[in-house]
Structure 1
C-alpha cells in the first residue's frame, strides 16, 4: 500500500478532528494560510496546512492533544510581527492563531500586577490601565501580542529603565505539547520554590509549549515625562555620550540611536522638520518634574561635550508621541526608502564597553558591502539593529545581505555579546547557536526532547539539529 502524503494524511486524519472541535474556526483557504505563512523581516514563507483560531486555553489544550497524537506540527501565531521567521510553518501543520484570546483576566492595582490572555496587545492593556495610574512599560515598537512578546523574550525602547519581558513576567499559563495545562510562577515578587519554569518558557519561541496567559508586573505612570533629541557629527560621538551617561548614572528611561542613513529614511517617511541627516540620539526621562529637569540639563551638557548640537526637548504628550512615532516607524521608513526592495532585519547586543568598537566595525562592513543598511538601536543596553535592503530579483544582492547579517551576528559574539538582543533566534539566527552556546546547546536539546518528545512544537526553530557522527 502506498503511504499517504503528509497533506493527504492531514486532510484525512487531522482536519476532521479539528473541524469537530472548532467548526468554522479551522480554516484552509489559501488567503488565510498565506497570512500565516510568514512574519515580518524575513523574505521567505511556507504555507501551513490549516489555521486554527483558538478562543480559550481549553481549546488550545484540545488542539495540542490532537496534534501531538497525530505528530502534526503546531506553530503558535500572535500578531505575526516577529522578525526571524518564528512563525513560518517550515514543515506545514497547524498555525495556531491566538489573536482572538483578548481577555484581560484581572488587574490588581494595589499590587501593581495583572493577568491577560496571550492575544492582548500592549496597546490594549495600556488603554485599560490608563485610569489606574499604571502602565505596562515593555515597548518593542511592533503592534505585538503579549503572549508573543513573552515567547520571544521581547525588549524595546524602555528596557534600559524597566527591563525586558524576562524581568516583568511574573507567571504564565502554558499548554504543554501533549495538551496539559500548567501554571508557572505567581503574583509574589520573588520565590525560591522549585525550578523557575516561567523563565524557561519566556524566550522559548513556541518550541516547548503554548503560552495562553501572562501575569505581568506593572509600573506607575511617571509624574513627569520629557523627550529630547540631539544630533552629532559622527556615530563615535553619539555612542560616547551614551556610555558616559550610563557611567555617571543619569537615569534615562530610553536612549535610542539612529545613524545618518536611518535619519534620512525617518525624515522622509515621517516628514520630520528641523533635523539633518546626521547620527541622532533620542532620549526620554521619567520622574518628578524636578528630577526630570535635572536629568535633561545633565544630558544636554554631556551631549555638548561630545559635539552634540540642536538639543531639543518636548514635554507635551503630542510632541513626544510624534517624536517616538518616527522612531517606531523606522522599519516602514526603510522599506519606503527603496521601493521594490526587501529587508532583512537583524539585531545584536554587546557589553556597553564594546558598543563603540562593534558599531564602528559594522559601519565599515556596510560601506564595503555596497548595500544600504540603516542602523538604529536601543543603545542604553548595548542593543542595535540593521535593516538590510536588497533587490529580491538580484540573487547576488540577497547573498550579500545575508552575508552582512551573518557577520553582524558573529562580530557581536566575538565582542562578548549575543547574536540577538531581542529579535530571538527563530530560523534566521539558528546557525549561530553553536558558536554562542557551545556544549550548553546539548542541554537545551535535552530539555526540548523531554518536554516535546514528538517534536511537534514549532519544529526547525531555535535549536539546530545535533551533528551526526560518521
Structure 2
C-alpha cells in the first residue's frame, strides 16, 4: 500500500441531556445545545414552570414532532439554520491567548508559519491546501478537554492531526482557519497485557513502533494492520485503515480496536466499552469512531488487539495477464491455505522495480503476484507453498520462486513495499498521485483492464498494486505539469465511478477526507449519508470538529428535476 494515513480513566462531565428532557428529538437536542452554548444561560428546572408554560411547550413539542416526522426531510431553510456559525478573527485571537495561558509549556501552542504550513499541507496528495490558525500539542486527555472547551467557547473549528500520512486531505484546516490538535506528544504505550493479547496506548504512537517494542521485549505478539510506515494508531482508527495483511487479518473496522477514550465536542470524556474481547451490551460505540476522521470526537487512548507472531516466507510468480492472476488468487483463497498477504503487481510496476535499481534481482516485466505464506511450522509453510505452486501453474503462472532464507524473503517483500519510490522511476522528474478503490474480487480483472485502457487513452504513465485477496486496487498516476495533473484528476474520477458501478467503494483503506466525499451519495445512498449527518449533528451540533471532511455537500434536489 502507498503511504496512508493517517482514543474510564476520567470522570465524565455532566451529561448534555440532563436539562434537555428525555422526550426531545435528536434535532431539537442539537439545536438546544447550540443555543445554550451561544447564550451560556442555563435552562430553568421544569419543576418551576407554570402549567401555561408547560402546556405551551407540550403543544410546541407535538407540532415540532409532526413537522419532523411527517415530512420526508428538513426544509432547506431549516438545514441552512443548522450550518456552522464560526467565531470572528478577534474571537480566534482571544482563543489563542486563552490556550497559551492554559498550558505551562511555551512549545504547547504554536502559530509559527512553518508549523502552520506543515499541518495544513501534504506532499502525499493534491487536494486544496487550507492552513490552520494555531497548532496545539496536548500531552493528556485533560489537555484535549481544555482545547475542546476553548474551541466551543470561541466557535473555533478544530482538526485532529496524527501521523500526517493521509492521502485524502483529512487533516486540512477549515476555510476560516481553526485549531489543529497535534497528537504527536501523546505517543506512549500505557499497558501491555500479554496474557490477553492486547495493548493500551495513546493515539500518537505508530504501529511500527508498537511492533518494534513488542519484539524488543520478547513478546511474541504484533499489531497486524500495516498501512504506510508513518501511520499512527489514532489516524489508523480514524480513517479505518488496513494494509497488505488485510486478506488474513481484516481491517480497522474488524475487532482490532477494542475500545477508545474519546473527548466529545461537548468536552465530555467517554470510554466506548471495557477490555473484554466481546460484548453484547448495546451497539458497538467503538466502531462509531472508526472511520469518522475526527468529525465526532478526538481519540485520546485506545486498546488494541494483538495477534501471535507466526513464521512467514515470501514467493513471487508471473502471469500472462491480470485476469489469470486474479483467477489464480480466487482458487488459492478457496483452498483455505495459510496466506497472510497476496499482492498483484502489474507489468509496469515490475518494470519500475528494475529501473529503480534498489532490488538485488531483475524481474520478468509481467503481471505478477507476491505471496506471503504463514504457518505455525516450516513444514506447514512448505505444504502451503506446494499447493499454491500447483494452483498458479494451472492458471498460467510461471517462474514460481520461493524465498530460500529469511533475508531473501525480506528482500522480496521490500521490493513490493517500495512501490511509491519505484513507481516514480518510470517517468523522470515526475510526481505521483496515489489512490485506491475496492471491488468484489471477481470484478477486479474488469476494473484493472478498463482502468489501464483509460490511462493509455489519456497518455498517462502509472503502476497498479492491489491487495488482490480482498479486491483492493491501488494506482500511482505520474505527472510532471499542471496539464498532466488535470488528466490524472479526470482518470481518478472515472476509476472511482467505475468501481462503484462494479458494486465497489470509492476508498478501500485511505479514508474519505475531502478527496472522496463527493462520491458517498452515489455509493451509500442518500438515506445512509443523512443518517451519518444525524449522528454528526447530535454529537457536534456546532459543526466545529474537522469541518468539510467526510460528509458530502448536500444534494441540490432542485437541480435534479
TM over 0.5: yes
**Residues 182-241 of structure 1: per-residue CA shift (max 9 Å, x gap):** 11122211111022110110111111111111111111111x211111122222221121
Structure 1 residue aligned with 2:264? 176
8 Å Cα contact 1:28/1:51 also seen in 2: yes
Q: 2:519 aligns with which of 432, 449, 463?
A: 432
The 5 A counterparts of 1:414-429 are 414-429=501-516
Q: 2:107 aligns with which of 10, 13, 24?
A: 24
1:239 equivalent to 2:326? Answer yes
Structure 2 residue aligned with 1:53? 137
Structure 2 residue aligned with 1:185? 273
8 Å Cα contact 1:172/1:185 also seen in 2: yes
Matches of 1:186 and 1:326 in 2, distance apart? 41
Distance 1:195 1:244, change over 3 A: same
The offset of 1:10, in angstroms, is 5.2
1:343 equivalent to 2:424? Answer no
Structure 2 residue aligned with 1:93? 178
Q: 1:108 aligns with which of 193, 196, 217?
A: 193
The offset of 1:40, in angstroms, is 4.7
Distance 1:136 1:367, change over 3 A: same
8 Å Cα contact 1:40/1:83 also seen in 2: no
Aligned residues: 463
The offset of 1:282, in angstroms, is 0.8
Matches of 2:405 and 2:156 in 1, distance apart? 52
Matches of 2:207 and 2:391 in 1, distance apart? 33
Q: 2:160 aligns with which of 59, 73, 76?
A: 76
1:13 equivalent to 2:94? Answer yes
SS, match of residue 174 in structure 1: strand
Matches of 1:84 and 1:426 in 2, distance apart? 5
Distance 1:100 1:322, change over 3 A: farther
Q: 2:297 aligns with which of 200, 206, 209?
A: 209
8 Å Cα contact 2:241/2:509 also seen in 1: yes
Matches of 1:363 and 1:8 in 2, distance apart? 48
Matches of 1:106 and 1:413 in 2, distance apart? 42
Matches of 1:359 and 1:151 in 2, distance apart? 28
Structure 2 residue aligned with 1:194? 282
Structure 1 residue aligned with 2:6? none
Q: 1:457 aligns with which of 545, 552, 556?
A: 545
Which segment is superposed worse, 257-266 or 212-221?
Answer: 257-266
State the TM-score, normalizing by the size of structure 2: 0.80
SS, match of residue 361 in structure 1: helix
Matches of 2:257 and 2:266 in 1, distance apart? 24
1:132 equivalent to 2:219? Answer yes
Q: Any unmatched runs of 5+ in structure 2?
A: 1-85
Matches of 1:114 and 1:211 in 2, distance apart? 16
8 Å Cα contact 2:137/2:182 also seen in 1: yes
**Residues 70-97 of structure 1: per-residue CA shift (max 9 Å, x gap):** 1111111111101111111132211111
Matches of 2:349 and 2:144 in 1, distance apart? 41
8 Å Cα contact 1:149/1:165 also seen in 2: yes
Structure 1 residue aligned with 2:367? 279
Which segment is superposed worse, 63-72 or 334-343?
Answer: 334-343
User: What RMSD, in angstroms, separates the aligned Cα atoms of the two structures?
Assistant: 1.8
Structure 2 residue aligned with 1:218? 306
8 Å Cα contact 2:208/2:229 also seen in 1: no
Distance 1:108 1:69, change over 3 A: same
Structure 1 residue aligned with 2:207? 122
Q: Any unmatched runs of 5+ in structure 1?
A: none
SS, match of residue 283 in structure 1: strand
State the TM-score, normalizing by the size of structure 1: 0.94
The 5 A counterparts of 1:302-321 are 302-314=391-403, 316-321=405-410
SS, match of residue 371 in structure 1: coil
8 Å Cα contact 2:165/2:228 also seen in 1: no
1:39 equivalent to 2:126? Answer no
Distance 1:280 1:201, change over 3 A: same
Which segment is superposed worse, 5-14 or 31-40?
Answer: 5-14
